[in-house]
A and B are shown apart, each in its own frame.
Chain A
Amino acid sequence: MNKLWLVGILEAGLLMSQRPINTVLFPDRDRAQEITYLIKSDSIPARFGFGRVATSTEIARLDIDIRPDGKGLPAGEGKPVAGKVIFAQKCAACHGVGGVGGPNGSLVTTTDPTKKRPEKTIGNYWPYATTIFDYIRRAMPFSEPGSLTDAEVYNLTAYLLNANGIIDDKAVVNAKTLPNVVMPAQQLFVPDDRKGGPEIK
């Protein structure tokens, strides 16, 4: 079979990947010609220059995440007694008095003998204390997200840790102490190590 190979190379002298070879069949009266274009997309620039540089104020306004090492925690502090009052006002309707029961689930671990399995809560399931601050500040109270001050969130975090028996009544929660709180469930967490294949795991 007669083949006519046409190789068109676009060489723009920049970098990046090679596009796949496109094969096009042209029906010809006498013979089928297979024309292959090698599209070498060397023409992708290192940068397109779209968008604009983000200012540090812009980033600070959005950057609300807290890491387990405490990175991101704001100034201020909280105590269980103060958190207890706020919880009763702003949270108990959905999460139960003292954080137990309630239509949107318990936040405090109890051992209810009538239940087959204990409810998964902060005390028995959450691996990092910093997540409590991060989550409450970003998403709670459900009906009024983003309405709490940092001080309120610190107090609520202190209260929930104390109610779960993890820190004592007098403990102070702040950017220094919170990352050091060791959660009971932390040692239970393992990353997924499955890679496919026949094993059921």
Chain B
Amino acid sequence: MGAFRLMPFTRVHQNVREYEVFARKARVDSLRQVGSVVAPDDDLARAYARATYDEERWIEMVIVPKESMISLWAPGEDEP
């Protein structure tokens, strides 16, 4: 327990990243965003995504660090 006390608790802080989770059910589908996870590294993000978004038998799942997504425009923002 002693050593644990020195660990910063970092669930939603500097040392963690947010990842968007994408998945699809069938080959004819395209990937769509199904949610997001917050994790300290890619491996844990993979594990969290697999365990959290288990509502379907997805044939594909992909995670992307949110900061890697480049938004060109979005609803509610000024027109491009």
Partners in one complex: no
Which residues of B are interface residues toward A (Cβ below 8 A)?
none
Which residues of A are interface residues toward B (Cβ below 8 A)?
none
